[in-house]
Chain A
Amino acid sequence: MSKNARVIKYVFVLPAIIYLILLTIYPLIYSLKISVTTLNIARPYPPQYIGLSNFVELLKDSIFVTAMKNTFFLTVLSICAEFILGFIIARFFFMGANLKLKGVGLLRTIYMLPMMVTPLVFGLIWLYIFNPTLGVANYLLSLLGFPPISWFGSTNIALYSIVLINVWEWTPFMMLLCLAGLSTIPPELFEVARIDGAGWHQSIAFIELPLVRRVILIGLMIRIMDNFRLFDLVYVTTGGGPGSSTETLSMFTYRQSFMFFNVGYGAAASIIILILGIILAQILMKSVWGKEEYA
Chain B
Amino acid sequence: MRKREIKTTLLYVVLILITFLSISPLIWIFLTAFKIRREIFAIPPVWIPKLPTLNNFISIFTGGFSRTPFIYNSIIISLSTTLLAMIIATMAAYGFAKFRVPRSKDIEFWILSTRMMPPIAVVIPLFLLFRNVGLLDTKRGLIMVYIAFNLPFAVWMMSIFFRQLPREIEEAAVIDGCSTFSLLRHISLPLVAPGLAVVAIFTFYFTWNELLLALILTGRAAKTFPVSISEFRGVVNIRWGPMAASSIVHIAPVIVITFLLQKYIIAGLTLGAIKK
A, B: real partners = yes
The answer to whether A20 touches B15 (Cβ under 8 A) is no
Known: A126-B25, A180-B270, A281-B116. A19 touches B147 (CB 8 A): yes
- Nearest B residue to A179 via CB reads B266
- Are B148 and A20 closer than 8 Å at their CB atoms? yes
Check B250 for interface membership: any CB of A closer than 8 A. yes
Q: B175: which A residues are within 8 A, CB to CB?
A: none
Contact stretch, chosen from A49-57, A107-115, A196-204: A107-115
Whether the Cβ atoms of B28 and A125 lie closer than 8 Å is yes
- Please judge, given known A-B contacts A111-B22, A180-B266, A270-B124, whether A232 and B212 are in contact too, CB under 8 Å: yes
Given the complex, which residues of B lie within 8 Å of A136, measured CB to CB? 28, 45
Number of interface residues of A (CB under 8 A): 98
| Contact call A24/B226, Cβ cutoff below 8 A | no
CA distance A263 to B124 in the complex (A): 7
Chain B residue nearest to A173 (CB atoms) is B269
Question: Shortest CB–CB separation between residue B223 and chain A, in angstroms?
Answer: 14
Chain B residues, CB < 8 A from A277: 116-118, 121
A256 to chain B, nearest CB (A): 9
Whether B155 lies near A16 (C-beta < 8 A) is yes
Contact, CB under 8 Å: A116 / B255: yes
In the complex, the answer to whether A177 meets B247 with C-beta atoms within 8 Å is: no
Do B212 and A114 touch (CB < 8 A)?
Answer: no
Within 8 A of B (CB), among A238-295: 239, 249-250, 253-254, 257-258, 263, 266-267, 270-271, 273-274, 277-278, 280-282, 284-285, 294-295
Most chain A Cβ neighbours within 10 Å, of B22, B108, B117, B269: B22
Q: Are B118 and A134 in contact (CB under 8 A)?
A: no
Main secondary structure of the interface of A (DSSP, over half): helix
Which B225-252 residues have a C-beta within 8 angstroms of A? 226, 229-230, 232-233, 238, 240, 243-244, 247, 250-251
Question: Given contacts A19-B147, A184-B274, A295-B159, are A92 and B15 in contact (CB under 8 A)?
Answer: yes
Instruction: Evaluate whether A274 and B251 lie within 8 angstroms (CB atoms) in the complex, with A8-B99, A30-B128, A232-B211 already known.
Output: no
Q: Which residues of A contact B159 (CB under 8 A)?
A: 295
Chain B residues lying within 8 Å of A126, measured Cβ to Cβ, are 25
Q: Bits for A206-228, please: 1 = Cβ < 8 Å to B, else 0.
A: 00000000110010001001001
| Pairwise interchain contact B274-A181, C-beta atoms closer than 8 A | yes
Contact B119 A229 (CB under 8 A): yes
Instruction: Report B-chain residues with C-beta under 8 Å of the C-beta of A113.
Output: 22-23, 26, 255, 258
Q: Does A9 contact B (CB under 8 A)?
A: yes
- Would you call A28 and B212 a contact (CB within 8 A)? no
Query: By the criterion CB–CB under 8 Å, are A12 and B99 in contact?
Result: yes
Nearest chain A CB to B173 CB, angstrom units: 15
A295: contacting residue among B12, B101, B160, CB under 8 A? B160
Question: A99 within 8 Å of B by Cβ?
Answer: yes
Asked whether, in the complex, the Cβ of B26 is within 8 Å of the Cβ of A117, the reply is: yes
CB-defined interface of B245-276 with A at 8 Å, one 1/0 digit per residue? Answer: 00100110011001100100110011101100
- In contact, B105 and A231 (Cβ under 8 angstroms): no
Q: Which residues of B contact A236 (CB under 8 A)?
A: 230, 233
Instruction: List which B161-185 residues lie within 8 A (CB) of chain A.
Output: 163, 180
CA distance A274 to B119 in the complex (A): 9
Bound together, the chains give a CA A168 to CA B25 distance in angstroms of: 10
A285-B109 in contact (CB<8A): yes
Please tell me if A23 contacts chain B, counting CB pairs below 8 Å. yes
Are the C-beta atoms of A263 and B128 separated by less than 8 Å? yes
A17 beta carbon closer than 8 Å to chain B: yes
Chain B residues with Cβ below 8 Å from A228 are: 118
- A30's nearest neighbour on chain B, judged by CB, is B125
Q: Which of B41, B123, B262 contacts A109 (CB 8 A)?
A: B262
Q: List 17 A-B contacts (CB under 8 A).
A: A11-B95, A15-B91, A17-B111, A20-B114, A23-B126, A31-B124, A99-B8, A101-B11, A104-B15, A109-B258, A114-B26, A127-B238, A128-B238, A231-B212, A267-B125, A270-B122, A273-B121
The 10 closest A-B pairs by CB, nearest first: A12-B95, A16-B92, A9-B99, A118-B209, A229-B118, A23-B148, A281-B116, A13-B95, A27-B125, A30-B125
Given A11-B95, A231-B119: 13 more A-B contacts, CB < 8 Å = A13-B96, A15-B91, A16-B88, A16-B92, A20-B148, A20-B152, A111-B18, A117-B251, A128-B240, A129-B25, A253-B124, A263-B124, A266-B124
